[in-house]
Structure 1
Amino acid sequence: MDLADTLVADFDVIDLLHTLATRSTELLDANAAGIMLADQRGSLRVMASSTEEARLLELYELQRNEGPCLDCFHSGAPVARADLDAMLATWPVFTKRMRELGFSSAQALPMRLHGDTIGVLNLFRSRPGPLTESDLWIGQAMAHVATVGLMQERSIAASEQLAEQLQAALSSRVLLEQAKGVLAERTGLSMDESFHAMRRYARANQRRLGEVAARIIDGTVDAEALRGT
Structure 2
Amino acid sequence: MDMTRERLLAEVFVDTADTLVEDFDVIDFLHTLAERCVEILDVDAAGIMLSDAAKVLHAAASSTENARLLELFELQSEAGPCIDAFTTGRPVVNVDLSASAERWPRFAEAAQATGFVSAHALPLRLREKVIGALNLFCERPGTLTAADVRSGQALADVATVAILAHRSLRHADLLAEQLQYALTSRIAIEQAKGVLAERRGISVDEAFALLRGHARSHNLRLSDLAREVANGTSAEAELLGTAGTGESGTTGATGTTGS
TM category, shorter: over 0.9
Can you give the 5+ residue segments of structure 2 that lack an aligned partner in the other structure? 1-10, 253-259
Q: Structure 1 residues 3 and 193, CA, compared in 2 at 3 Å: closer, same or farther? A: farther
Structure 1: tracts of 5 or more residues without a match: none
Shift of 1:146: 1.4
Residues 55-87 of structure 1: CA deviation (Å, up to 9, x unaligned): 110000011111001011000000135534542
1:88, distance to aligned residue in structure 2 (A): 2.0
Amino acid at match of 1:31: D
CA–CA separation in structure 2 for the residues paired with 1:186 and 1:127: 34
Q: Which residue of 2 aligns with 1:35?
A: 48
For 1:141 and 1:185, locate their aligned partners in 2 and report how far apart those are by CA, in whole Å: 38
Is 1:60 the counterpart of 2:73? The answer is yes
Greater RCO structure (CA 8 Å; 6+ sep): 1
Higher-Rg member (1/2): 2
Moved over 4 A (4+): none
Structure 2 residue 104 is matched with structure 1 residue 91: yes
Which of 14, 24, 28 lines up with 1:4 in the alignment? 14
AA at the equivalent of 1:226: S
- In structure 2, the partner of 1:226 is 248
- Counterpart of 1:178 (choices 180, 184, 191) is 191
Q: Which residue of 1 aligns with 2:145?
A: 132
Tell me how many residue pairs correspond in the alignment.
Answer: 229
Q: Indicate conservation of the 8 Å contact 1:3/1:146, yes or no.
A: no
CA distances 1:81-103 after superposition (whole Å, capped 9, x unpaired): 55345422311110011000000
Amino acid at match of 2:212: R
Question: Structure 1 residue 70 and structure 2 residue 89: aligned?
Answer: no
Equivalent position of 1:18 in the other structure: 31
Distance 1:185 1:84, change over 3 A: closer
Using the TM superposition, give the Cα deviation of residue 170 of structure 1 relative to its aligned residue in structure 2, in angstroms: 0.7
Tell me, in whole angstroms, the C-alpha distance in 1 between the residues paired with 2:159 and 2:143. Answer: 22
Q: RMSD over aligned Cα, in angstroms?
A: 1.5
Distance in 2 (CA, whole Å) between partners of 1:82 and 1:170 is 28
Partner deviation per Cα, 1:128-164 (whole Å, 9 max, x = no partner)? 3541111111111111111111111234135511110
- 8 A contact 1:82–1:129 mirrored in 2: no
Counterpart CA distance in 2 for 1:156 and 1:58 is 28
Report sequence identity in percent. Answer: 51
Query: What is the CA–CA distance in structure 2 between the aligned matches of 1:191 and 1:118, rounded to whole Å?
Result: 28
Q: Which residue of 2 aligns with 1:116?
A: 129
